[in-house]
Chains A and B, each alone.
Chain A
């Protein structure tokens, strides 16, 4: 059994009376434990809707979403599902509930009735995982955007989830903040947490083990970054190749050769050195 399963999921929401927008159309999908999935697509492709279906924030209009075998449709499962799948949103300023950082992180475990000693242990561990231990008694308002998102991730980690969902969590951050968050996501993934990163940044997609591209509410592509970048279909989905891949393409036109599709700076540099040395 896969950790996450979508079976023929559709989701539409009413805009006006008698007028619905179909955000997702008959999407079936399975994600296994330990995967690092980038869920990509242009604005309006349905990627954020899909994310919100994964922890029961939305319930499918049709079909079924199973998290570790539990259907999101059953109210009795909601609590358990939210513990399993934690979500970090786009705007770092909208996610803090407490003024002091450690209180903010303790909020989740407190809510599910964890013992005090265990809460302290969880908060310590979560802060350490995101490199924010020294900030524990500071106020959140004085932090940078990247630090706020790290605190938000720590808040999710304190629930000891199996799945971390990043819903465009880096899109409001500067390049340093973006890198901080991606490094943490990779580290957590190595420790066994399944990561789902919703993004339209293809450099972020390139570090995932699997890229799922949505277009108009349907899955347009599903494969490794290399497969997806090689497909020639990204532009049609409103996305662009990462700069290193674009450069490698331009170089191939003038006689350079690379081993398959270039998705990292290292592959690009190795390929160029092979030809020029």
Chain B
């Protein structure tokens, strides 16, 4: 059974007003447990509208035609909607702006408390969540979240979501605004969360390099429609489609194209700098080998001629 199942999902903002805008058009999508999805698309393509359907923050408009379900819990059924909210953890863009507790522990406890868990279970989960995001409980629990650094705040916000132990974790631009160290820390954390807590991860990002490196599957949206769905290699191979969707190529893919235009023979499906470096190394070795061979054959060719002339010289003597 797929983990996420979306059928014929449509959504229109400001219906029946001059500002009416169709944000999602006939979205059909299934995601299996364990997948790491990179959800990409230009600003306004419908990414946020789509992910907010996953835990019922946006209500399905046409319940007859459309359905959204996660692990069998339907977003259109009131009875399962509340459970669904705990099944799908949503980390918004700049989640640190939403911290509100007067201590880190209270902030992280908010979600599990809402789940009506026993006090000691709430406490256990808060400890676990802080530990997983790399914030030592004894050091951070009683501090005000507002006294922390930007990166620490973001960790607290993520801890607050994973304390609910959602099976699906959805993150909207999780590294936006962070410095390089903060970025790589949070990206590593997301991989760790997938392993330890939420096996299915959907990350919204504008950074194609990150997505090519991390995602098993890229889903690209354009004007509310899915225009590409597949492995990073497959999706980024379709240059025209990527351009039409207003997306960037990964830096390695872009450089590959420039090199190919200059006549260097590279595969089209390179999506990482490591791959590009390996391919270029291969070409260089092949070039060296060729140069060596042609030098060798020049040498032998010349030597043979010398031998022949020597022979003919001897013949003359005879």
A-to-B contact residues, CB < 8 Å? 15, 42-44, 90, 144-145, 168, 171-172, 174-177, 200, 202, 238-240, 243-244, 246-247, 250-251, 254-256, 265, 268-269, 272-273, 275-277
Contacts and interface: CB of A to CB of B under 8 A. Distances in A.
A272 B273 contact: no
B206 A254 contact: no
Contacts of A144: 43-44
Nearest to A256: B284
16 contacts: A43-B150, A43-B182, A168-B177, A174-B43, A200-B180, A240-B180, A250-B277, A251-B280, A254-B284, A256-B280, A265-B254, A268-B255, A272-B264, A276-B283, A276-B284, A277-B264
A15 B209 CA distance: 38
Given A254-B284, A272-B280, A276-B283, A44 B149 contact: yes
B179 to A, nearest CB: 4
Contact of A273 (B182, B264, B273): B264
A275 B284 contact: yes
A200 B180 CA distance: 7
A265 B257 CA distance: 12
Interface string B282-311: 011001000000000000000000000000
B179 A254 contact: no
Interface of B: 42-44, 147, 149-151, 176-182, 206-207, 209, 246, 248, 251-252, 254-255, 258-259, 262-264, 273-274, 276-277, 280-281, 283-284, 287
A251 B209 CA distance: 19
Given A175-B206, A244-B255, A265-B255, A276 B280 contact: yes
A172 B179 contact: no
Contact of A269 (B246, B259, B277): B259
A265 B276 CA distance: 14
A90 B206 contact: no
Contacts of B262: 269, 273, 277
B251 A243 contact: yes
Given A174-B43, A275-B284, A43 B246 contact: no
Contacts of A277: 262-264
Contact of B273 (A44, A174, A200, A246): A246
Nearest to B44: A144
A243 B209 contact: yes
A251 B281 contact: yes
A272 B176 CA distance: 32
B273 A243 contact: yes
Contacts of A200: 179-180
Given A272-B280, A273-B264, 11 more contacts: A42-B180, A43-B149, A174-B43, A247-B273, A247-B276, A256-B284, A269-B258, A269-B259, A272-B259, A273-B259, A275-B287
A43 B151 contact: yes
A174 B206 contact: yes
A250 B149 contact: no
A170 to B, nearest CB: 10
Contacts of B251: 243-244
A20 B273 CA distance: 44
Contact of A174 (B42, B149, B179, B283): B42
A95 to B, nearest CB: 16
A239 B259 CA distance: 28
The 3 closest A-B pairs by CB, nearest first: A200-B179, A240-B180, A174-B206
B284 A90 contact: no
Contact of A254 (B44, B176, B246, B281): B281
A276 B287 contact: yes
A175 B263 CA distance: 28
Nearest to A168: B177
B176 to A, nearest CB: 6
B284 A247 contact: no
Contacts of B255: 244, 247, 265, 268-269
Contacts of A254: 277, 280-281, 284
Contacts of A256: 280, 284
A277 B290 CA distance: 12
A51 B119 CA distance: 47
A251 B42 CA distance: 33
A182 B254 CA distance: 19
Contact of A42 (B179, B252, B276): B179
Contacts of A15: 147
A272 B277 CA distance: 11
B252 to A, nearest CB: 8
